[in-house]
Structure 1
Amino acid sequence: MELGGAMTIFLALCLSCLLLLSAWKKMHKGGKLPPGPTPLPFLGNLLQLKTDETFKSFMAVSQGVALANGERWRQLRRFSLTALRNFGMGKRSIEERIQEEAQYLLEEFRKTRGLPFDPIFFLSRTVSNVISAVVFGSRFDYEDKTFLSLLRMINESFVEMSTPWAQLYDMYSCVMQYLPGRHHRIYHLIEDLKAFIAERVKINQASLDPNAPRDFIDCFLIQMEKEKKNPNSEFNTKNLVLTTLNLFFAGTETVSSTLRYGFLFLMKYPEVEEKVHQEIDHVIGRNRVPASEDRMKMPYTDAVIHEIQRVTDIVPMGVPHTVIRDTQFRGYTLPKGTNVFPLLGSVLRDTKYFSHPEEFNPGHFLDENGRFKKNDAFVPFSSGKRVCLGEAMARMELFLYFTTILQSFSLKALLPPKDIDISPKVSGFGNVPPTYEMCLVPR
């Protein structure tokens, strides 16, 4: 190699090292950070992460990525809570919608005639219809092809979000966006979902009556009109589509995944299912439709549902956030712009609050007299200002679906309980339930 060429390469390497060192210093300026392994320039702590065990890896290095924060988050969250309450969240009307959907589900379950089936889309359809009635103003027919396509995209998106490819894209989007690979799949899925919602927005705009809002989209459109002269308003079409997608996606996947996982646990622990059956028969009976007020009289069933949520830990790393100003925390300084993951799974498995955290044991939520016992470490919906928007609706759905289904059916596994594998299909942003088949036997 000629001397000039060698010198060019040497200078290029030196310049690259200087740029990386400069970037690394900028990343770590501004205060005393909490303890953790030293990040490398550009790579950060990637080498300490196991992409197939993301939660365990983040437990060790405590880093993450961020979603919306600041004024946008405050405006949209405040509005969304109000709109959801106006459409019955936490009131009698939403309970009636859940009860109605649960009856449609029973009809579909009876059609299985005790034969093996995969519960994924049975549960996705019924749960999704509850949130659909709120955000779109109506439910979908179970055989609607567009509806089934949407549910497949949501289910696949949840899986893709938890793959190693998606995690790498999150950390290195500036590079990964130009490289071919599976990580682009999630982008196309989300864009297709956004396109569907954008079309529904157009339909609502064409027939909007400001004095009679039909759903969440109508409420948002009315607010957009009210604030059209406000330059700082976050009420625009882009945020309408994204907020609706967030509600639709979360309202579909998290509850249906918890139900799927819950049935798997009940088949693995049939003695638990039997005790739930006994409590249902004693409090509700075989003929009356279960109601949310029954929960107070059913401590064991309530404890079982809580334990299912605790052990399944559907979103173990919680929803990520960004520090919007320099923040003091336990003697450390988190500079503005630092990304933080709450790691809810660490609390749900804390031995200080749960005697045997790795075991499925409804006793974690029962006192010595068999009464339901609250636990401050039960935070599957997060806590504080960032608590899940749909917590009240999700809690009601889980109770009503579990009791309605177990009132009418016994679960039958295709394997002996000891052979049932409860390991997640994928574990990353979410713990995706394993694929399985089951049978329902009428009681």
Structure 2
Amino acid sequence: MLGFEIQTVLLCVTAFVILWWWLQKPKNLPPGPWGWPLVGYIPNLVVALYRTGLDPPQLFAKMSTKYGPVFSMRIGGKLIVVLNKHSIIKEAFHNPHISNRPTSHTMRDLGLGGGLLSPGEGWKQERRFTLTTLRSFGVGKRSFEEHIAEEAEYLLEEITNFHATPFDLLPLFTNATSNVICSVVLGKRYEYSDSNFKYLLSLINQNVQIAGAGAAQIFFPIFKYFQRSNYKQLETNISSIIKFINDVVKQHESDRDPDNPNDYIDVYLNELESSQKHGQDTHVRKTKTMPLTIMTLFSAGTETTSTTLRWGVKYMMAYPEIQKRIQQEIDSVVGRDRLPRLTDKDNLPFTAATLLEIQRICSVVPLAVPHNCVEDTTIDGFNIPKESLVLANLNLIHHNPDTWKNPDEFNPERFLDKDGCLQEREGLIPFSTGRRMCIGEHLAKMELYIFFTHLFHRFTFKKPDGDSQPISLKGVLGFVNTPSTFLTQVESRD
């Protein structure tokens, strides 16, 4: 009898909790799947991913056919709103109430905060300061081309050393793209043989995989309990990167000339010194903000560009006829006596179109970086409560058959008009959109063009001799969609 009474009480309590949870649910939310109290949709999500074999962006695309272009679900205690239409993403990410980043529990646990990932108002000051400082060193300006081209020539020299030997492009491309941002932010470039720097870059590569789609490990606290070992590895890697940055900062403190800043760190230290001298409240914080901002620039300026270039080489290996057409176009415009320049771009429409098609079909950051809603607002007529997280399914935007004919087909021609001239299309947003779009968009575009054209001016990339396996174009999804590991072999065109 007592057992029956206990069961009855537990049943009543459970029913009360479910009823209370249901009554607390805000009205007019975007439609979406039901979830469990406390854990939300996580169990269903794990089962759905396992059963379908889809990755999160693909599963969200499938869910959008049922629930519409805006749907919601709970992950732990957080309401997640997923946007699956370009016009809606554009509307949402220009909304000032959806311009924040969620609080990163990972950075908080490591004693870091503020900067470009700040969930508060500080990000505006930090972004403005960073853009102004980088531009003062030429970043994003046409004059910066020489700097990128110089690093591209270092890269070509490294590749030449392999001759006909198959090799992995990953360490070379990450080192090259990292050197471009390091020279401005840290004040130096690093040799391709530098073992310490290669190890540091390997940590960044690990982090983009561990972080998961939408950087779930960084912004969704519940995942650190479900994937504890991954979370601890992420913390260890970030700590190592921060230590490296702090060591560089210490060196700057002893060497710098305040009247002649050589890089971003020098300017940052000047700003810090000035704010302390005048007792000003500023976004600049040496122990928390500074290393986090530098790590953000360092990591973002390395990983997405190098990954896009690796995808570019892999697609050219898989489509040798397109690679040949690019080389013929470059040769006809540039010739064999010099390397391509930015001024050649208007006369290389097929090459430029191929780069755009690579960015479209690969969707290197498929769920972008999450946004956080700081006030109650609306998206497409639905109520979005404060503290909701908003994800943009860029992978679907870039593969929507309503926008792109045969979206899974690799076809650079879709970016050319009937006269063969380049036409950029609104549906392509690899750098996201709105108030928090990628701070390094202009730099990344310059790097992609210069590195890509230099590579194919100098070399032909192909499968290693004797390799009869088809080239896999399936990605490995983390925060960044990377190509599976592959070896390439080059033939010099000189």
TM (norm. structure 2) is: 0.81
C-alpha deviations, 1:3-42, integer Å up to 9, x for none? 5x9978986786677567656755x33x421111123211
Corresponding letter in the other structure for 1:367: D
Instruction: Select between 5-14 and 406-415 the one with higher mean Cα deviation.
Output: 5-14
Q: Give yes or no for contact 2:311–2:483 (8 Å, CA) kept in 1.
A: yes
Equivalent in the alignment of 1:183 = 231
Equivalent in the alignment of 1:57 = 59
Equivalent in the alignment of 2:270 = 222
Instruction: Identify the match of residue 299 of structure 2 among 210, 227, 249.
Output: 249
CA 1:224 to 1:21, structure 2 compared with 1: closer, same or farther past 3 Å?
Answer: farther
Instruction: Select between 397-406 and 227-236 the one with higher mean Cα deviation.
Output: 227-236
Distance in 1 (alpha carbons) for counterparts of 2:386 and 2:179: 40
Instruction: Identify the match of residue 379 of structure 2 among 325, 329, 351.
Output: 329
Corresponding letter in the other structure for 1:47: P
Are positions 1:438 and 2:474 aligned together? no
Are positions 1:204 and 2:200 aligned together? no
Equivalent in the alignment of 1:158 = 208
What SS class does the counterpart of residue 341 from structure 1 fall into? strand
Instruction: Select between 410-419 and 9-18 the one with higher mean Cα deviation.
Output: 9-18
Equivalent in the alignment of 2:67 = none
Distance in 2 (alpha carbons) for counterparts of 1:437 and 1:345: 26
Are positions 1:258 and 2:302 aligned together? no
Distance in 1 (alpha carbons) for counterparts of 2:427 and 2:279: 42
Distance in 2 (alpha carbons) for counterparts of 1:134 and 1:286: 31
Distance in 2 (alpha carbons) for counterparts of 1:277 and 1:313: 25
Instruction: Identify the match of residue 39 of structure 1 among 26, 35, 42.
Output: 35
Distance in 2 (alpha carbons) for counterparts of 1:16 and 1:92: 64
Corresponding letter in the other structure for 1:66: P
Distance in 1 (alpha carbons) for counterparts of 2:138 and 2:10: 63
CA 1:90 to 1:440, structure 2 compared with 1: closer, same or farther past 3 Å?
Answer: same
Instruction: Identify the match of residue 104 of structure 1 among 118, 135, 154.
Output: 154
TM (norm. structure 1) is: 0.90
Number of residue pairs matched by the alignment: 436
Are positions 1:351 and 2:351 aligned together? no
Equivalent in the alignment of 2:366 = 316
Equivalent in the alignment of 2:460 = 410
Distance in 1 (alpha carbons) for counterparts of 2:322 and 2:468: 12
1:207 Cα deviation after fit:
2.8
CA 1:95 to 1:7, structure 2 compared with 1: closer, same or farther past 3 Å?
Answer: farther
Distance in 2 (alpha carbons) for counterparts of 1:403 and 1:142: 21
1:326 Cα deviation after fit:
1.0
What SS class does the counterpart of residue 126 from structure 1 fall into? helix
CA 1:169 to 1:130, structure 2 compared with 1: closer, same or farther past 3 Å?
Answer: closer
Corresponding letter in the other structure for 2:471: I
Instruction: Select between 298-307 and 320-329 the one with higher mean Cα deviation.
Output: 320-329
Equivalent in the alignment of 2:128 = 78
1:151 Cα deviation after fit:
0.8
Distance in 1 (alpha carbons) for counterparts of 2:139 and 2:39: 44
CA 1:350 to 1:386, structure 2 compared with 1: closer, same or farther past 3 Å?
Answer: same
Equivalent in the alignment of 2:86 = none
C-alpha deviations, 1:133-190, integer Å up to 9, x for none? 01101111111122111111111111212279x747854438718x743332112111
Instruction: Identify the match of residue 66 of structure 1 among 102, 106, 127.
Output: 102
Which runs of 5 or more residues in structure 1 are unaligned? none
Q: Give yes or no for contact 2:213–2:367 (8 Å, CA) kept in 1.
A: no
Which runs of 5 or more residues in structure 2 are unaligned? 64-70, 73-79, 82-100, 104-117
Q: Give yes or no for contact 2:208–2:480 (8 Å, CA) kept in 1.
A: yes
Instruction: Identify the match of residue 361 of structure 1 among 411, 422, 442.
Output: 411
Q: Give yes or no for contact 1:213–1:219 (8 Å, CA) kept in 2.
A: yes
Instruction: Select between 54-63 and 104-113 the one with higher mean Cα deviation.
Output: 54-63
Are positions 1:213 and 2:264 aligned together? no
Distance in 1 (alpha carbons) for counterparts of 2:8 and 2:232: 35
Distance in 1 (alpha carbons) for counterparts of 2:11 and 2:269: 54
1:205 Cα deviation after fit:
2.2
1:330 Cα deviation after fit:
2.0
Are positions 1:138 and 2:188 aligned together? yes
What SS class does the counterpart of residue 227 from structure 1 fall into? helix
What SS class does the counterpart of residue 490 from structure 2 fall into? strand
- The Cα RMSD (Å) is 2.7
Instruction: Select between 217-226 and 432-441 the one with higher mean Cα deviation.
Output: 217-226
1:78 Cα deviation after fit:
1.1
What SS class does the counterpart of residue 230 from structure 2 fall into? coil
Instruction: Select between 288-297 and 432-441 the one with higher mean Cα deviation.
Output: 288-297
Distance in 2 (alpha carbons) for counterparts of 1:217 and 1:400: 26
Corresponding letter in the other structure for 1:138: K
Distance in 2 (alpha carbons) for counterparts of 1:423 and 1:23: 41
Identity of aligned residues (%): 36
Are positions 1:372 and 2:422 aligned together? yes
Distance in 2 (alpha carbons) for counterparts of 1:233 and 1:173: 32
CA 1:180 to 1:350, structure 2 compared with 1: closer, same or farther past 3 Å?
Answer: closer
Distance in 1 (alpha carbons) for counterparts of 2:252 and 2:191: 20
Are positions 1:233 and 2:233 aligned together? no
Distance in 2 (alpha carbons) for counterparts of 1:87 and 1:110: 31
Corresponding letter in the other structure for 2:170: I
